[in-house]
Structure 1
Amino acid sequence: MGTLLDTGIKGYNNYGTHLKEKYKGQRVFKAIVDGGFTCPNRDGSKGYGGCTYCNVDSFTPETARKLPTLREQLTENMERGRNLYKADKFIVYFQPNTNTYAPAHYLKMMYDEALSVNTEDIVGLAVGTRPDCIDAEKIALLESYTDRFHVDLEMGMESIYDETLDQINRGCSHGEFVAAVKLLENSKLDLCVHTIFGFPNETEEMMLGYIHEINRFPQIKFVKFHHLHIVEGSIMGVKYKRQPFKLFTLEEYTDLLCRAIPLLRPDIVIQRLFGVSDWDLLIAPKWGLPKSAVQTYIDKEIERRGIVQGSAYRPGL
């Protein structure tokens, strides 16, 4: 006997279904580009070394790292999307580092160049950034593209606890995140918030507090949930090798998601449920499964347990 999952129906508001509905069945692929940006906690503005968990190469496709120009990166990534994923349309995704960390006129030049590559095949622009690198001028710049493209601003919250943010050398406080989100009230931009579950000083109840914080901002349209994973080339990777600490097993992480998803406001679209890294850079946790198998395991557990997004959501909590 078949299940709802067999028909593509999941117990949560998932990004794949959202894209199919939004773009009327067309296959939409995110084409990642590296604009050569840095971060304020890398270049000395706020600190050095970056967030302790971060090695940019661990989540940036090799094509974005090896090709020098935006046009070359996009041309190759679009071709890859067509060949491997049968993509019809594309979202240009400025992902590595902080992609609003420059003057607005420079950002405009970069975004304009990227959006000029096979424009007829581009439906969206997604820009990854930090809370302390957003202001009204940059919001207005991104909003200027919304008459032609859907524009997502992806912002790292990571944790809601300043003690954690200090420990990971984040270089900004949760208060700065809240201030940035408030700048986006009534904005034309779709805000995606990125979190990381599993920092060693945080309990499960503390992590579930992330969900209540996300729920209180109606301008948050998307979320990306990641589990903490340790990668080569990161400060945390060096520390972990010297003194390993507890990380989620796949079963434990799935348990947490099954507690978190019912609390999440039902209109929010979940873009991602777990973190990914290149195998050759991953130190831990090694779950021994490819990305597709991890996704299937989590989805099957969500269905088996009857988990429904928003079923335990209570406005104001």
Structure 2
Amino acid sequence: MAIPYLYTDYGEFLRREFPFKVQKISINAGFTCPNRNGEKGWGGCTYCNNQTFNPAYCRTEKTITEQLEEGKRFFGRKYPDMKFLAYFQAYTNTYGEVDEVIRKYEEALVVPDVVGIVIGTRPDCMPQALLDYLTGLNRRTFLMVEYGIESVDDGTLVRINRGHTFAETAETVRRTADAGIRTGGHIILGLPGEKRDELVGQAALVSRLPLTALKIHQLQLIRGTRMAHEYALHPEQFHLYTADEYIELVIDYIERLRSDLVLERFVSQSPKDLLIAPDWGLKNYEFTERLKRRMKERGAWQGRLADRREQTR
């Protein structure tokens, strides 16, 4: 049987949104998190070390404009006509005084060739006043708000010190999507205590959320995190997937996702000097090519096993 498509690709999504090539530029705008500063807890999520995804130019001593201009120079060497999305990535980028948060967004949007923003945040950090502003912003530029879901299991969320429940995630995702804003989610597969069949079953719950896009990452153990310390003490509580095991898991997962959900990525690649395990020796694009090849071998595609009631949102 011919496979109609493999999955709904993020690159194709951007090509539908823009008549030119766009690239996200990560920004560290100096935010923190409520589970770092004592409002909800201390130390942040047990797996988190923000150094794993902050490029060299992402430093809080630089202004947002300076970070964007440096990122533009880096990416513009290859594609001189490229446009850019300001990606507020580090920590919780809706957490702070609303007026100050808005000022940071507006600073990014006046940088030449910036055609929109992507905001990474937590589902318990979206006050209505800020959502009202974002609703208006969405009418004048490209906007996506990405929420860290990480798991649908409340026990896991407590264990990794997230400080919110899945019910809070679902409610905030719906509020955001109901405002007409493109809404993204982030999931980690392989968190301690979560069995393979539970992870596969999770896909149906994620599909019921009115998400535009989803990022899927494998669990990585990163130096300097509480989870790395937990692993050193109790490695038996963790299952670190091999690349081949993880590919099979991801395929089973995305076959149960609704077919219109845009899939941005399937794997994360942390710096070698910070990564403890698993080290697959694969770049992101190499992993994705192996995933596609295996999907074709299996006759798999996104949504093949999804509940038909979840096929569109």
How big is each residue's C-alpha offset from its partner over 1:180-234, in whole Å with a ceiling of 9 and x where there is no partner?
A: 12322422210001000001211112112321112113x3110000110111121
Aligned sequence identity (%): 36
2:242 equivalent among 239, 249, 256: 249
| Mapping for residues 1-317 of structure 1, pairs under 5 Å | 11-24=6-19, 26-65=20-59, 68-84=62-78, 88-118=82-112, 121-217=113-209, 219-244=210-235, 245-316=238-309
Partners of 2:28 and 2:60 within 8 A in 1:
no
**3-state secondary structure, aligned to 1:277:** coil
Aligned residues: 307
CA distance in 1 between partners of 2:256 and 2:153 (Å): 19
**3-state secondary structure, aligned to 1:178:** helix
How big is each residue's C-alpha offset from its partner over 1:5-37, in whole Å with a ceiling of 9 and x where there is no partner?
A: 9xxx9510011122123213x211001101100
CA distance in 1 between partners of 2:80 and 2:231 (Å): 40
What is the Cα deviation at residue 97 of structure 1?
0.3
What is the Cα deviation at residue 301 of structure 1?
1.5
Off by >6 Å, runs of 4+ in structure 1: none
Partners of 1:230 and 1:236 within 8 A in 2:
yes
Structure 1 residue runs of 5 or longer lacking an equivalent are none
CA distance in 2 between partners of 1:248 and 1:154 (Å): 26
CA distance in 2 between partners of 1:170 and 1:85 (Å): 39
Partners of 1:81 and 1:87 within 8 A in 2:
no
CA distance in 1 between partners of 2:94 and 2:176 (Å): 15
CA distance in 1 between partners of 2:177 and 2:227 (Å): 35
Report the AA paired with residue 155 of structure 2.
Answer: E
Report the AA paired with residue 188 of structure 1.
Answer: G
**3-state secondary structure, aligned to 1:63:** coil
CA distance in 1 between partners of 2:177 and 2:105 (Å): 23
What is the Cα deviation at residue 311 of structure 1?
1.6
For the aligned residue pairs, the C-alpha RMSD in angstroms reads 1.9
Stretch of structure 1 that moved more, 208-217 or 261-270: 208-217
Q: Residues 298, 85 of structure 1: CA spacing in aligned structure 2 closer, same or farther, 3 A cutoff?
A: farther
What is the Cα deviation at residue 87 of structure 1?
5.9
What is the Cα deviation at residue 85 of structure 1?
5.4
What is the Cα deviation at residue 243 of structure 1?
3.4
